[in-house]
């Protein structure tokens, strides 16, 4: 009888131990699943080869083209992502093209109205200046375009300037470079032939 009670006690102990182990392992798995799904951000909207038109009183201000478009909305932030890049075209008040910016990745932070453009960013102004960099920001609220990365500006006539950062107005007309180097062609009108 004592052996039967001991064996029964051992079986109950083993079953209880297995039950506790399973309970604890399930709890860890549930925690892991919750943490994984909480970190994963899924797009609210997805599109391919998308064109956006931004207007003000029926006047086109900007057009944006995306190869892939993701609209992300969660508790912390809301942004539009262009993971395969695209381009943005800005228009003057008279409808003429002011500039274009192309990049291999872009992100538009909706609340702050800031565009982050990355990876082989090329901006071309209406007067033919080309700006090349790996990172560029366009702050629509402050109407500034800027970068804190290496930048190369090539003028229409081939003159080239390089710098470690730049700031420009949102029409790319007034550009300020820092730590400038490059080639500049000067014409001396005082030289007599």
For residue range 54-64, list pLDDT tens digits in order.
888 888 888 88
pLDDT in the model for residue 104 = 95
Which tens digits make up the pLDDT trace of 93-110? 888 888 899 999 999 998
Any domain includes 146: yes
41 burial (CB, 10 Å; 0-12 / 13-18 / 19+) is middle
113-125 residues labelled b (16+ CB within 10 A) or e (exposed): ebbbbbeebbbbb
Q: For the chain, how many structural domains are there in total?
A: 1
Beta bridge partner(s), residue 176: 167
What's the pLDDT at 122?
Answer: 94
Exposed / middle / buried, residue 179 (Cβ in 10 Å: 0-12, 13-18, 19+): exposed
pLDDT of residue 177: 82
Does the residue 162 lie in any domain?
Answer: yes
Task: Please give the pLDDT value at position 59.
Answer: 87
Contact 107, 115 (CB under 8 A): yes
Domain of 97? 45-183
The pLDDT value given to residue 4 = 59
Higher confidence at residue 103 or residue 178? 103
Residue 27 domain-assigned (yes or no): no
The per-residue pLDDT of the chain, averaged, comes to: 80
pLDDT digits (tens, 9 = 90+) for 83-94: 999 998 988 888
Q: Domain for residue 9, yes or no?
A: no
User: Has residue 70 been placed in a domain?
Assistant: yes
* CATH code: domain of residue 119: 2.60.450.10
| 101 beta partners | 88, 123
* pTM beyond 0.85: no
The predicted structure's pLDDT at residue 29: 56
Compute the average pLDDT of residues 124-138: 91
In a domain, 11, yes or no: no
Across the chain, how many H-helices and E-strands are there?
A: 1, 14
For residue 156, pLDDT over 90 is answered with no
Strand boundaries in the chain, DSSP class E: 45-56, 59-73, 78-82, 86-91, 97-103, 105-109, 114-125, 130-139, 144-147, 151-154, 160-163, 165-169, 175-178, 181-183
| Residue 27 in this model has a pLDDT that exceeds 60 | no
In a domain, 116, yes or no: yes
Whole-number percent of the chain with pLDDT over 90? 25
Task: Compute the distance between CA of residue 40 and CA of residue 60 in angstroms, rounded to an integer.
Answer: 36
In a domain, 142, yes or no: yes
Evaluate whether 135 touches 148 at the Cβ level (below 8 Å). yes
Looking at the predicted structure, is the pLDDT value of residue 149 above 80?
yes
Task: Using DSSP, state whether 121 is helix, strand or coil.
Answer: strand
CA 114 to chain centre: 9
């Amino acid at each position: 009888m004592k052996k039967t009670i001991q064996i029964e006690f051992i079986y109950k102990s083993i079953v209880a131990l297995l039950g506790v182990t399973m309970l604890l392992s399930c709890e860890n798995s549930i925690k892991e699943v919750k943490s994984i799904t909480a970190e994963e951000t899924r797009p609210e909207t997805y599109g391919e080869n998308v064109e956006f038109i931004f207007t003000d009183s029926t006047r086109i201000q900007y057009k944006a083209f995306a190869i892939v478009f993701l609209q992300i909305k969660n508790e912390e932030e809301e942004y539009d992502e262009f993971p395969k890049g695209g381009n943005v075209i800005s228009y003057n008040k008279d409808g003429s093209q002011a500039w274009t910016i192309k990049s291999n990745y872009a992100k538009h932070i909706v609340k702050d109205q800031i565009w982050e453009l990355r990876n082989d960013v090329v901006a071309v102004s209406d007067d033919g200046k080309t700006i090349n960099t790996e990172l560029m920001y366009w702050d629509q609220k402050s109407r500034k375009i800027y970068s804190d990365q290496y930048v190369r500006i090539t003028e229409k006539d081939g003159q080239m300037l390089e710098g470690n950062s730049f700031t420009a107005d949102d029409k790319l007309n007034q550009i300020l470079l820092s730590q400038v180097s490059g080639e500049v062609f000067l014409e001396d009108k005082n030289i007599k032939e």
